[in-house]
Amino acid sequence: EAGVAQSPRYKIIEKRQSVAFWCNPISGHATLYWYQQILGQGPKLLIQFQNNGVVDDSQLPKDRFSAERLKGVDSTLKIQPAKLEDSAVYLCASSLASPTSGGRETQYFGPGTRLLVL
Amino acid sequence: DAKTTQPTSMDCAEGRAANLPCNHSTISGNEYVYWYRQIHSQGPQYIIHGLKNNETNEMASLIITEDRKSSTLILPHATLRDTAVYYCIVRVLTTSGTYKYIFGTGTRLKVLA
């Protein structure tokens, strides 16, 4: 079974530029997550989708970050314009479980995209 | 607003058991505890999860106290490849009615040869 794919793996941009990250979840996984992981910290959830609908984007800085999941499969996360403090690893994860149901849920993470904003 | 507290770092001799503690004193009755690990430059990898009972799989054992306020992840025979950051996570119900993982800062485990 193929895992969660992300690209690019690394990106270096200057502040005020824009950048986009791509994620392809595990086949059949309805729920998709984007996390931000700043160096030395645990991942922080930015947004979660169920199929192509946003379930929770309360932690997404909407003035500069946007995300979409067209057709309920692949997803893109965009930052425009980038700030120095956006330097981090952006992780995508997917799961079979619904984010609105209790019980067990295992999330499968991709390798992440490491962003450096200069 | 992490719901878990873990030691910042730990060392363990190769071949010995690694016991990683986690405090989650504010956990609610239906919130699961998950453990993931993150090896350098990779995404977090699922290890094990539990609600009330102790759990064991091919990777590790999870011991949850009766009051559910703390747990311990046990790697029975640590190898050098187990060197990683280990995250204890609670899957919480948010005010918007969705569930999400809350990561803490994790424990950096170093297995020594």
Identify which has the larger pLDDT, B92 or B75: B75
How close is the nearest chain A Cα to the Cα of B90, in Å?
11
Residue B21: cis peptide before it, omega within 30 degrees of 0: no
d(CA B47, CA B36): 5
Which residue out of B86, B98, B107 would a mutagenesis test of the A interface target, given it has the greatest number of A Cβ atoms within 10 Å?
B98
- Give CA separation, A115 vs A38, B12, B18, B104, in Å: 10, 32, 33, 22
What tokens appear for A8 in the block?
Answer: 């690019």
Specify the pLDDT at position A1. Answer: 63
- The arithmetic mean of pLDDT across residues B68-85, rounded, is 96
Is the pLDDT assigned to residue A61 strictly greater than 70? Answer: yes
d(CA B80, CA B75): 12
Identify which has the larger pLDDT, A27 or A71: A27
By a Cβ cutoff of 8 Å, what residues of chain B touch chain A? Answer: 2, 30, 32, 34, 36, 41-46, 49, 51, 87, 91, 93-94, 96-101, 103-106
Find the helix or strand (DSSP H, E) in which B65 lies: none
How close is the nearest chain A Cα to the Cα of B82, in Å?
18
Specify the pLDDT at position B13. Answer: 97
* Closest C-alpha among A20, A17, A30, A38 to residue A78: A20
Banded model confidence at residue B30, pLDDT cuts 50, 70, 90: confident
d(CA B86, CA B108): 6
* Beta-carbon separation of B32 and A104 below 8 A: yes
* Beta-carbon separation of B99 and A100 below 8 A: yes
* Beta-carbon separation of B43 and A111 below 8 A: yes
Q: What does the pLDDT look like over A86-109, one tens digit per residue?
A: 999 999 999 988 877 777 788 999
Report the phi/psi class of residue A51: left, alpha or beta, with left for phi > 0 and alpha for psi in -120 to 50: left
Is the pLDDT assigned to residue B95 strictly greater than 90? Answer: no
- The arithmetic mean of pLDDT across residues B81-98, rounded, is 90
CA A55 from chain centre, in angstroms, equals: 14
Which residue out of A9, A26, A55, A57 would a mutagenesis test of the B interface target, given it has the greatest number of B Cβ atoms within 10 Å?
A55
* Closest C-alpha among B11, B76, B4 to residue B34: B4
How close is the nearest chain A Cα to the Cα of B44, in Å?
6
How close is the nearest chain A Cα to the Cα of B20, in Å?
16
Residues of B with Cβ-Cβ distance to A108 under 8 angstroms: 46
- The count of other CB atoms within 10 Å of the CB of residue B15 is 11
Residue B75 C-beta-side C-alpha neighbours within 13 Å: 25
- Indicate if the alpha-carbon torsion angle B92, B96, B97, B100 is positive or negative: negative
